[in-house]
Structure 1
Amino acid sequence: MACCRQRLLGLSNRIANTTGRLLRRQLIARSFQSSSTRLDEEVEISNAPVATSKRPAYLDFKRVPRRAIDVWEPWNDHKDGFEGKMMEQAKRILPRNTNGEEILPLLRDVPVSPSYFTAAWFHTDRWLALRSLDRKCSALPRLADGVDDGFRPMTYNEYAGTDPTGLSRHGEYNVIKTILKGLARIRPDARPIEVNMLLSQFTNSTVAKNSMPVRRKIDALGRAMGRGKRKDARATVWLVRGEGQVLVNGKRLTDLFNRARDRQAILRPLSIVGQITNYNIFALVRGGGTTGQAGALSLGLAKALVQYNPQFSNVLRKADCLKQDLRVVERKKPGKVKARKSPQWVKR
């Protein structure tokens, strides 16, 4: 009997819950139908334009826009829905362009660049423009190797000053500088006007003020002079047109430098430009040993070559002949046998 009573109670509870759910559904449906009919009536009475999912039909004119556009298609569609006082308010607030058309204000800020949300959008736009110009001019004739193009790019600090965002880095500027150097190698007679304007925009300001570095004039005897340093050695080299004779401190090169590698190091700038037998060399060197003297003579000879013919500067610079070797012997420290060598450890 108890089991039957429990089954009857559970069945009655299920019936009550089911009827309650049905009643609630009917009430919700009635309220929804009434609200929908009310909305339909309001739409029919107001006769307002249908609001789209992209833009609202009615604009909030109390907001102050930051930017504006000339043409917006939904505004032309919904313009007829503004009547009376609201339409007059819209005409007073909205500015007009030269054609007399209203300029609709944007309700949100529009980025000034498509790549605004990248890490450095200003650099990205500039890099894309330079790359497209480089590809456009890829078939134009270039200058021969060893010919100076005369382009001196601006420094990184000057480039960073042209970026309003301040997000440019050294690596990004190196990418820009590589493209600019490639454009500068185009022959001047075949170079487009836009490339010339671009190169003048990115030219170093100090070079632009001084035009070009003043080249030291060759003396009355037709000699070009260059000085070099290496370790404790100091050298002064004079270069003149001749048959390839070399005199150092009044002696022949083979008499002063016994090792072949020292003689090769001294004449390396001439071998790079292929002018070994076209110049005579007269040099004075003092201080240091044979290795330091050979490095000092090589640097002085390279500088004299550039003074005699500036077209050699690009080739010699790429070969690191115009860079001074700053390596010197490290000094001895107290408690050490040499600069870093420790004394031998003895157990007993």
Structure 2
Amino acid sequence: MSIGVQSGSEAPSQEQPIDGYGSLGGFQLKPASPSYFTTNPVYNELIVNLDYTYRQYRPITKPFKQALRPNWLGKEALRTAVGVDALKTSQYRLIVSKLNQLATLTPRPAPVEALFNQFSKTEEQMAQKAKPRVVDHLGRALATGRRKEASASVYVVEGDGKMLINGQEAASYFKKIQDRESLLKPFEVTSLLGKYNVWALVKGGGTTGQAEAISLGIAKALMTHSPELKPTLRKAGCITRDMRVVERKKPGQYGARKKFQWVKR
């Protein structure tokens, strides 16, 4: 017995294939640059362009390592100039190293000068001087210290020697003895141990970098309270920032200097 199709009903239509690209007609457009496939295409494209510009003009110029270098923008200002949401310290250093490499070209071609105008400080920015550190109405001196990837804002006020690091006691925040010794070094060399209170906010880096960043901030704040301490602190190396950082790992190697084990036979 056959079953007829009911009157007024239509046969089910076959589903049409879905076009995933819409107006592209089933074909995806080719990206303008391979940097499209990277995590940070804007930053990656800038590095590629800086390298390409140096290789392009190096054969027709004379690299001079002692050439005068412009004053480059700071990290935040450079991030805005590049047009990215975030810029790591390592990325900032790489951009500056590429710009310093371009600065060795003499004479400088017009495209290189255009890059310098984009990423160097203006005369107005260079004329701005840092605000002098003063003791506020509460008797506090504010100073900033940096070491490796750590950055610390330190308040120093006369007191009985208490130290708070991110709201914790220094002894509980820093477990290592050498880190706690770094904190107290500015007070020890000036014989002011137990005469000032310290309240610090620190971020980034590890415990060693944070401790030395706070120590630098303490030394600067002590100079705000007593400028005559500067020779003593400078002789002890407390107000000189340590610019050393960890050397990056090299491709094809185990680490920064160490090579992979190799046996001839």
TM-score (norm. length: structure 1): 0.38
TM-score (norm. length: structure 2): 0.50
